[in-house]
Structure 1
Amino acid sequence: MATYETFARVYDSIMDDSLYDLWTDFSLRHLPKKKNAKLLELACGTGIQSIRFKQAGFDVTGLDLSQDMLDLAEKRAKSAKVSIPFVQGNMLDLSSVGTFDYVTCYSDSICYMDDEVDVGDVFVQVYEHLNEGGTFIFDVHSTYQTDEVFPGYSYHENAEDFAMVWDTYEDEAPHSVVHELTFFIQDEDGRFTRFDEVHEERTYDLLTYDILLEQAGFNKVKVYADFEDKEPTETSARWFFVCEK
């Protein structure tokens, strides 16, 4: 699993800000209206989405594996004048965070799990830490995205103080890809230092997700695609699951 140590420094610069609006809008449409509802955001990263949720009226806790990401999240929350506890932890073990009315996990973070056993274990952890009647929303890459769109994908970013090359290749396991990232980051002396990271992602077919969710205890599951309230098609890029306990 990627550490994001270097990635954290440029993550916000390469993320499309409009995605946070889309995740927020989707969440507000599908989370039941409840005053001061407790929401846990898994894989909260640098905290942008957590702040959006806090400003929308939720009692938010953010959890992420990377302390580097959380350090940025805490600075961002302070700048936004909101109070959000950010917890360093693994979504495979939520024993330290309590229970919540809602849990979200966006930006295909589930796809970073090593295999379907870990995916199932995450679903079990979420189910156990959801209050009765609670809702779990997450998104993943579709198999079309990993099999047809990503292989051969290349993205370059150039800014004054950093540059990035992002190439994606098909991996060995079914519906899996490898993202190879190279960063050139400028230091205080004006010199650029190179950093390399590898991020591995894997998704599964819809039936596999349905089975894993049911095994975890979720019996009410709805699936949507591409931030819209529509069913997935053969060419949908991102699947959204809305699961009720």
Structure 2
Amino acid sequence: MASYETFAKIYDEVMDENLYLDWLEFTCRHLEKKQQKLLELACGTGILSVELANLGFEVTGLDLSEEMIALAKERITTDDEGLNFVTGDMLELKERETYDVVTCYSDSLCYMPNEEAVQQVFDGVYASLKNEGTFIFDVHSIYQMNEGFSEYSYHYQTDEFAFLWESYPGDYDHSVEHFLTFFVSDKKGKFERFDELHEERTYDVSIYRQLLKQAGFKKIDVFADFEDSEPDDESRRWFFICHK
């Protein structure tokens, strides 16, 4: 799993804010009004959790990174009675309380090392859902892994830091390795370098369906790229709507 120790500090600046609105709109389109208690897996710094709480959901944001959760907790105000952030592992959900909805966005499931780990997450989510609960998640498509990240390079710079992101094919089919390099300024204006490796992999839609059915999900819908349309050969992000 990625550490995010350095990434957490500048995460909000390098993320596209419009993506959070897209995830918010997609989530709300696929939920029933009675579904109010929500668990957001891999919540990061809590931007989407806050937006969901503002709409009336009772939200628990969970993330493996203590640094991310520390930043997320800074977003809580005195008015946010229905918002909570906890440090935790999505691979260990079975002992937690139950929810109407569980979400897992930003291709966070692609960080699972193998199919067994993905199955473990699905099993835990199923156990964490109330009857008739909904699980919504997204993953990178095979096209995105094989073509979209081919020779991908992204640079971002401010007065306080520089961020370099380069992606290369991974060791497995439909996998990628993201090499992140940070140059962060200290109080004296001196820049210090940090390096992180983020590894992601995805699978065919049929494999995700099989793992979800093995977890117990009965009705599974698949859409693409934030739209309510079926994926095609060049879809970049797959969305799964799963009903218990």
State TM-score, norm by structure 1.
Answer: 0.97
Q: Deviations over 1:177-208 (max 9, x none)?
A: 00000001111111111100000000000000
| Aligned-partner SS, 2:206 | helix
The within-5 A match list for 1:41-60 is: 41-60=40-59
Identity %: 56
Offset of residue 81 of structure 1: 4.4
- Cross-structure match for 1:23: 23
Offset of residue 77 of structure 1: 2.2
In 2, Cα distance between the equivalents of 1:201 and 1:208? 16
Offset of residue 149 of structure 1: 1.1
Q: Deviations over 1:59-104 (max 9, x none)?
A: 00010000000000000223x8424221111001113430000000
| Aligned-partner SS, 1:146 | helix
Greater shift in the superposed pair: 11-20 or 86-95: 86-95
| Aligned-partner SS, 2:74 | helix
In 1, Cα distance between the equivalents of 2:31 and 2:175? 30
In 1, Cα distance between the equivalents of 2:19 and 2:164? 21
Check whether the contact 2:112–2:200 (CA below 8 A) recurs between aligned residues: yes
In 2, Cα distance between the equivalents of 1:187 and 1:76? 24
- Cross-structure match for 1:82: 80
In 2, Cα distance between the equivalents of 1:44 and 1:81? 20
- Cross-structure match for 1:161: 160
Is it true that 1:61 corresponds to 2:60 in the alignment? yes
Check whether the contact 2:163–2:181 (CA below 8 A) recurs between aligned residues: yes
The within-5 A match list for 1:58-207 is: 58-78=57-77, 81-83=79-81, 84-207=83-206
Aligned length: 243
In 1, Cα distance between the equivalents of 2:127 and 2:94? 9
Offset of residue 160 of structure 1: 1.1
In 1, Cα distance between the equivalents of 2:79 and 2:168? 41
Check whether the contact 2:62–2:88 (CA below 8 A) recurs between aligned residues: yes
In 1, Cα distance between the equivalents of 2:218 and 2:34? 22
In 2, Cα distance between the equivalents of 1:206 and 1:195? 35
In 2, Cα distance between the equivalents of 1:201 and 1:226? 18
| Aligned-partner SS, 1:85 | strand
State TM-score, norm by structure 2.
Answer: 0.97
In 2, Cα distance between the equivalents of 1:97 and 1:85? 14
Runs in 1 of length 4+ with deviation above 6 angstroms?
none
In 2, Cα distance between the equivalents of 1:171 and 1:28? 34
In 2, Cα distance between the equivalents of 1:149 and 1:66? 27
| Aligned-partner SS, 1:76 | coil
In 2, Cα distance between the equivalents of 1:178 and 1:62? 26
AA aligned opposite 2:32? P
Structure 2 unaligned blocks of 5 or more:
none
Q: Deviations over 1:150-190 (max 9, x none)?
A: 02100000111010110000011010000000001111111
Offset of residue 3 of structure 1: 1.0
In 1, Cα distance between the equivalents of 2:192 and 2:75? 26
In 2, Cα distance between the equivalents of 1:116 and 1:17? 31
In 2, Cα distance between the equivalents of 1:179 and 1:56? 34
Check whether the contact 1:141–1:238 (CA below 8 A) recurs between aligned residues: yes
Q: Output the aligned Cα RMSD.
A: 1.0
